Amino acid sequence: MAKLYFKYGAMGSSKTAQALITKFNYEELGMLVWLIKPAVDTRDGQAIVRSRVGLFAEADVISQKANLLDLFLAKDVRPDVIIADEAQFFSPAHIDQLHDIVDNYDTPVLCFGLRTDFRTCFFPGSQRLMEIAESISEIKTVCGCGAKATVNARLDDMGQIITEGEQVVLGGNDRYMAMCHKCWKKRIYAQQKALSETATI
* Residues that are catalytic: 86
Q: Which residues of 68-107 are buried (b: 16+ CB within 10 A; e: fewer)?
A: bbeebeeeeeebbbbbbbbbbbbbbbbbebbbbbbeeeeb
> Are the C-beta atoms of residues 132 and 4 closer than 8 Å to each other?
yes
SS3 content of the chain, % helix, strand, coil (to 5): 30, 25, 45
Euclidean distance between CA atoms 188 and 184, whole angstroms: 6
Euclidean distance between CA atoms 100 and 166, whole angstroms: 31
